[in-house]
């Protein structure tokens, strides 16, 4: 079967997903560049010490956001809109509550800064920078949860626009606060927090759109539901808390074994981390798109489309990873120099560390995509286990040995060893219990199913009618239901041809899927005419009467825009 719907949906979501991730990455890199060049190596070191704080915010936001939205996407895919909204309302409530709990470190700031690894030399800068960030903690948690929900509600473009607002505002205010007003490192944190708040406001605009399926309302989940959110999102969200833990340990190991140049070792680690965010952004975009699309198709019990999307995500990760590794390896000295490191360090230790790290990039992409895929199809245990091993256990075990011997260069080697070992584990899991076999055993298969895709044109009516007539004979569908199925398909296609085809240069197509399940016939019709809803058209009285008849003569009817397509779901 032609899987153009699956391919088109993934292409659309992945483009906007990568743009969204890249915008946030650029924002972080610009912050590091300005801090490194305007405040100096100590400022860059403080920025690096603060990274675990942002990672904890991401842990809460992404674990809850991804976990809840895996469920929301499945419900939307199954056309259970009310239940999807109930889950969304509980997500908003718990996100706000946890965001408020993130204010607690303000009560013992100095002890918290020492815990992060701030030395006496760095503590004044850390106090200035992190106090502002801690005050705005709820914004960071809420931004992640809203961004995931907006993407799930078929608006990845707005999620990317919110990210663009964050970077433009952050960069503009960085220049104003740090370069013009001379606020120093406080300006860096203030600009980021203001930008994050504006990003939240942009995301909230989605829920006032007419076509939004999710609506704003607050409620609070019970403990079992909260546990379900956390379990579903743990595989992806836990990566951030593990990264925070690893960074804390690695920062302290670098300080311990630095031989008197602790600030410079931390600064190089900051450069390495900022550089790593470029491929990570691409892989996160690919993984988030995969997670959303897979959950939708899982709600439809469409195993074939899930497999197609996974293959495309893996190819994207491999090709993009190879390209990024090559570019970063060739231009490593220039990349290190951009962050304000001394020329000898940029050309020596920093560039070598970057090049060693580049060898791990392709494997990082594969592992990121696979973890997201396991998460989205319900293999949360596997995803969580992979996250624990990949982002924490293996890194810490290898890191203690390598960093003590080779300092920052040993730290780069840790990434290679970790990603290679995890890729080997993925192959073992595939051999023992492949995901396709898992899906076929867990997804309820219909009694019988027919699916085909057609180009939207007048000549297609005859082809559709012929296919449905032959199918009715094979399945022995009663005459009345056969007539009604043909009638629905033909009238919907006619309406689209008459009122929906505005861009005559574009090829439009429609997919018809008929499922026999427990004596009922379930008709799913998908089309890619994005700006047209035949059930809201201002057609003539005959057209409106036909569409009203379709609504009234089915056991269940739902017509919504999901992903980037129009979906008609009916039980006949």
- Residue-wise pLDDT for 125-143, tens only, equals 888 888 888 899 899 999 9
Structure tokens at 485: 């199925």
Over range 313-340, report the average pLDDT: 88
**Three-state DSSP string of 503-546:** CCCCCCEEEEEEEEECCEEEEEEEECCCCCCHHHCCCCHHHHHH
| pLDDT for position 545 | 64
341 or 89: which leads in pLDDT: 89
| pLDDT for position 28 | 67
| pLDDT for position 392 | 86
Q: Is pLDDT of 404 > 90?
A: no
Over range 241-256, report the average pLDDT: 80
Can you tell me the distance from the alpha carbon of 167 to that of 184, in angstroms, rounded to the nearest whole number? 19
Asked if 98 and 64 count as a contact pair (C-beta separation under 8 A), the reply is yes
Q: Above pLDDT 90, what percent of the chain?
A: 13
In angstroms, the Cα distances linking 154 to 148, 160, 211 are 10, 12, 10
pLDDT band at 542 (very low <50, low <70, confident <90, very high): very low
Over range 450-462, report the average pLDDT: 79
b/e 250-265 (16+ beta carbons within 10 angstroms → b):
bbebbeebeeeebbbb
| pLDDT for position 502 | 64
Ranking 105-119, 169-183, 336-350, 393-407 by mean pLDDT, the lowest is 336-350
CA angle 401, 407, 411 (to 5 degrees): 70
* Residues ≥6 apart with Cβ < 8 Å to 117: 49, 248, 251, 252, 255
The packing angle between helices 137-152 and 185-204, to 10°, is 40
| DSSP states along 482-508 | HHHHHHHHHHHHHHHHHHT---TTS--
| DSSP states along 246-298 | HHHHHHHHHHHTSTT-HHHHHHHHHHHHHHHHHHHHHHHHHHHHHHHHHHHHH
- Residue-wise pLDDT for 257-277, tens only, equals 777 677 777 778 878 887 888
| pLDDT for position 313 | 92
pLDDT band at 321 (very low <50, low <70, confident <90, very high): very high
| pLDDT for position 419 | 94
Ranking 228-237, 243-252, 263-272, 295-304 by mean pLDDT, the lowest is 228-237
392 or 566: which leads in pLDDT: 392
Domains and CATH numbers, the chain: 4-441 (no CATH), 447-571 (3.30.565.10)
214 DSSP 8-state letter: S
Over range 453-459, report the average pLDDT: 77
Distance of CA 110 to the CA centre of its chain: 35
Can you tell me the distance from the alpha carbon of 572 to that of 557, in angstroms, rounded to the nearest whole number? 9
Strand partners, 513: 451, 524
Return the top range by mean pLDDT from 83-97, 238-252, 255-269, 464-478. 83-97
| pLDDT for position 237 | 62
- Residue-wise pLDDT for 553-562, tens only, equals 777 777 777 7
Ranking 307-311, 337-341, 414-418 by mean pLDDT, the lowest is 337-341
- Residue-wise pLDDT for 288-318, tens only, equals 888 888 887 887 777 888 888 899 999 999 9
- Residue-wise pLDDT for 13-51, tens only, equals 888 778 777 766 776 667 767 777 777 777 777 777 777
Can you tell me the distance from the alpha carbon of 174 to that of 189, in angstroms, rounded to the nearest whole number? 9
| pLDDT for position 541 | 46
Distance of CA 484 to the CA centre of its chain: 40
Asked if 565 and 527 count as a contact pair (C-beta separation under 8 A), the reply is yes
171 or 434: which leads in pLDDT: 171
What is the average pLDDT score of the chain?
A: 81
Q: What are phi and psi of 119, to 5 degrees?
A: -80, 175
Distance of CA 39 to the CA centre of its chain: 33
| pLDDT for position 535 | 56
| pLDDT for position 468 | 84
Over range 387-415, report the average pLDDT: 87
| pLDDT for position 199 | 92
The packing angle between helices 262-299 and 361-376, to 10°, is 40
Over range 165-182, report the average pLDDT: 86
Q: Is pLDDT of 539 > 90?
A: no
The continuous run of DSSP H or E covering 455 comes out as strand 448-455
| pLDDT for position 345 | 67
b/e 9-40 (16+ beta carbons within 10 angstroms → b):
bbebbbebbbbbbbbbbbbbbbbbbbbbbbbe
In angstroms, the Cα distances linking 225 to 71, 336, 410, 524 are 11, 46, 42, 30
pTM over 0.85: no
Q: Above pLDDT 70, what percent of the chain?
A: 89
Ranking 47-61, 286-300, 401-415 by mean pLDDT, the lowest is 47-61
| pLDDT for position 317 | 92
Ranking 228-232, 255-259, 402-406 by mean pLDDT, the lowest is 228-232
| pLDDT for position 505 | 67
Can you tell me the distance from the alpha carbon of 348 to that of 268, in angstroms, rounded to the nearest whole number? 11
| pLDDT for position 531 | 63
pLDDT band at 499 (very low <50, low <70, confident <90, very high): low
Q: Residue for token digits 């304000």?
A: 340
């Amino acid at each position: 079967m032609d899987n153009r719907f699956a391919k088109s949906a993934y292409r659309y979501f992945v483009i906007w997903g990568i743009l969204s991730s890249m915008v946030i990455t650029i924002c972080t890199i610009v912050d590091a560049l300005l801090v490194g060049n305007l405040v100096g190596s100590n400022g860059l070191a403080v920025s690096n010490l603060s990274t675990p704080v942002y990672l904890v915010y991401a842990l809460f936001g992404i674990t809850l956001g991804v976990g809840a939205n895996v469920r929301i996407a499945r419900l939307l895919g199954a056309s259970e809109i009310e239940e999807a909204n109930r889950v969304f309302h509980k997500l908003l409530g718990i996100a706000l509550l946890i965001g408020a709990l993130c204010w607690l470190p303000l009560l013992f700031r100095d002890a918290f800064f020492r815990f992060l690894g701030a030395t006496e030399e760095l503590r004044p800068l850390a106090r200035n920078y992190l106090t502002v960030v801690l005050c705005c903690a709820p914004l960071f948690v809420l931004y992640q949860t809203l961004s995931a929900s907006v993407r799930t509600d078929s608006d990845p473009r707005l999620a990317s626009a919110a990210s663009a607002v964050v970077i433009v505002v952050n960069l503009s205010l960085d220049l104003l606060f740090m370069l013009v007003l001379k606020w120093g490192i406080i300006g860096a944190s203030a600009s980021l927090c203001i930008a994050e708040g504006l990003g939240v406001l942009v995301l909230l605009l989605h829920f006032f759109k007419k076509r939004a399926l999710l609506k704003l309302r607050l409620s609070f989940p019970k403990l079992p539901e909260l546990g379900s959110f956390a379990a579903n999102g743990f595989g992806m969200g836990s990566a951030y808390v593990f990264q925070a833990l690893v960074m804390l340990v690695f920062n302290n190991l670098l300080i311990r074994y630095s031989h008197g140049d602790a600030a410079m070792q931390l600064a190089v680690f900051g450069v390495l981390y900022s550089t790593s965010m470029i491929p990570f952004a691409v892989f996160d975009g690919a993984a988030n798109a995969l997670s959303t699309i897979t959950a939708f198709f899982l709600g439809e019990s469409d195993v074939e489309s899930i497999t197609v999307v996974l293959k495309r995500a893996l190819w994207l990760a491999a090709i993009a990873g190879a390209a990024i590794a090559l570019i970063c390896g060739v231009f490593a000295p220039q990349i290190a120099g951009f962050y304000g490191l001394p020329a000898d360090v940029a050309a020596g230790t920093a560039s070598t560390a970057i090049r060693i790290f580049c060898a791990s990039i392709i494997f990082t992409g594969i592992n990121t995509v696979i973890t997201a895929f396991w998460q989205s199809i319900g293999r949360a245990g596997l995803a969580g286990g992979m996250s624990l091993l990949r982002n924490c256990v293996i890194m810490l075990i290898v890191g203690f040995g390598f960093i003590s011997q080779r300092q920052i260069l040993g730290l780069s080697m840790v990434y290679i060893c970790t990603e290679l070992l995890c890729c080997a584990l993925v192959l073992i899991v595939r051999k023992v219990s492949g995901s396709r076999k898992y899906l076929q055993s867990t997804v309820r298969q219909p009694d019988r199913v027919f699916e085909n895709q057609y180009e939207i044109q007048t000549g297609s009516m005859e082809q559709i009618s012929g296919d449905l007539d032959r199918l009715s004979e094979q399945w022995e569908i009663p005459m009345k239901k056969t007539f009604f199925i043909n009638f629905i398909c033909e009238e919907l296609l006619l309406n689209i041809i008459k009122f929906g085809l505005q861009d005559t240069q574009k090829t439009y197509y429609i997919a018809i899927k008929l499922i026999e399940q427990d004596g009922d016939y379930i008709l799913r019709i998908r089309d890619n005419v994005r700006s047209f809803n035949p059930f809201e058209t201002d057609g003539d009285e005959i057209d409106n009467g036909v569409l009203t008849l379709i609504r009234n003569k089915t056991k269940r009817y739902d017509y919504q825009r999901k992903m980037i397509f129009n979906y008609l779901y009916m039980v006949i």
